Every structure is written in structure tokens, then in C-alpha cells.
Chain A
């Protein structure tokens, strides 16, 4: 059943690094440009879909456990970031305007965009990005697998 042609495999090898860099860029610049955790996670999941289509016959077993663990890690990280602001309220932005990590103050108006801003929002973008990437990869892996059950 190994009928994936050489052209598809070579193009998949070439596309791994640019797609990964583009997805990571969209996640990390979520507070400065269009995108964010959901869009970047979906872009990274298209990478997994491409790899599944191309190299499905080379897998000995379905690698779904690593995506389950990553999904739980992203979810727990997101809820913990929400709980860390509990000194004021749930989902309080506790890092903004402190001149620390992601804490550069921003005033109203058009600016060229500074990466070290927005407090807890980039960390939440990373957590949601990991969670969406793992959930979509899990769904793609499960739906694309050859089903071995008997048919009636």
C-alpha cells in the first residue's frame, strides 16, 4: 500500500521548516498582528496533517499519546495563568505595565509594535496554541487512521 510518490515526500520534507516557523510566528506575535493562539495552532496542525498524509505507512503505531499529554499541559498552563491573577480577580492581567516580563507600558495611538508588551496575553497565546495544536492533531490522527473493525 506504499503508493505515495517521491515528489510528495520531497515537498513534504522541504515544507516542514517553513510551516513550523510560520505557525510559531503567528502564535508569538498574537498581540501585535492578526492571528493568535487559535490560528497559529491550526497552522501547526496542518503540518501534522501533511505528515500523516505523506508518511502514514511508515508508522508502526499511532503516536497519539504525546498529543494527549501536550493537550493536558496546554490546558493546565492556561488555567494556572488564570489563577495567578487571583489576587485581584480571576483572569486578572498581573504582568502588565510592570516593566518586567512582557511589561512595557503602551499608550493609546498607532505604534510600530513592541514585542515585550501585553502582560499575560502572550503566555496565554502560547498555552492556547499548544492546546489547539494538540487537539487538532489528535482529531486528524484519529480520523485518518485505517479502521480495523468488522463491517456488518
Chain B
């Protein structure tokens, strides 16, 4: 029996990796990496869930049965590092567009410029 959460993670990772393999545009590759990172977030959060629990915050909590706090902390780390690498990738995309005049990987003609 497969759960719908893990099936969603599998489908999202497949979509992201097929984007990385088949697309030639830089912006679409960045979008593929974003999809993979979001699916990893969903995987970590669904790993830490416990049935019938509340969020691990004691301020006016309805009960003291709580979900696991460590995957949520790791998800926070993943979100920030994802944001950092996205900013760097988009900056490099701006540099590439200013140098080559296009964002497509097929039209770069790297050999011609380097020789």
C-alpha cells in the first residue's frame, strides 16, 4: 500500500529531474532545481508527522502530543540554503545573458569564443 504523500514526492522529483535533463533554458533549469528542493521539503515534513498530533509549540497548545521537531528544523535549514543557491544561480544567469545575449544552452558557441 503506497501513501499519497510519498507518491507525491516521487512524482515531483521525477518532474524536476526530467526538467533538468530535457530543457536547455537556464531559467527552466533553475525551476527544476526549485521543484526538487520543494519535494525534499515535503518529504522531510511528511517523515516527521505523527498521527493525531499538534505542532511542537507549548503556547496555549490543545494537547502535549506533538509531531517530531527535528525534521522541521532541517526543513528550515533546507529552505534557507535553497534560497541562497537560487539567488546565486539567477545572478549567474544574468551574467550569462549579458555575455552571450541568449539564455539557451544550444547557442553558446563556447569553443569559438575561447579560441
Contacts and interface: CB of A to CB of B under 8 A. Distances in A.
B101 interface: yes
Contact of A113 (B60, B76, B79, B94): B60
A59 interface: no
Contacts of A112: 59-60
Contacts of B59: 32-33, 110-113
A109 B64 contact: yes
Interface in A85-127: 109-113
A110 B58 contact: yes
B47 to A, nearest CB: 20
Interface in A115-152: 132, 136, 139, 142-143, 147, 149, 151-152
Nearest to A140: B87
Of listed B57, B64, B101, residue having the most chain A CB within 10 A: B57
Nearest to B59: A113
A18 interface: no
B87 A143 contact: yes
Given A38-B76, A112-B59, A113-B59, A152 B91 contact: no
- Chain A contact residues, majority secondary structure: loop
A143 B61 contact: no
Contacts of B91: 142-143
A134 to B, nearest CB: 13
Nearest to B60: A112
A38 B61 CA distance: 23
B90 A151 contact: no
B44 interface: no
A136 B86 CA distance: 12
Contacts of A139: 87
Contact of B101 (A136, A142, A151): A151
A149 B96 CA distance: 12
A96 B87 CA distance: 37
Interface of A: 32-34, 36, 38, 109-113, 132, 136, 139, 142-143, 147, 149, 151-152
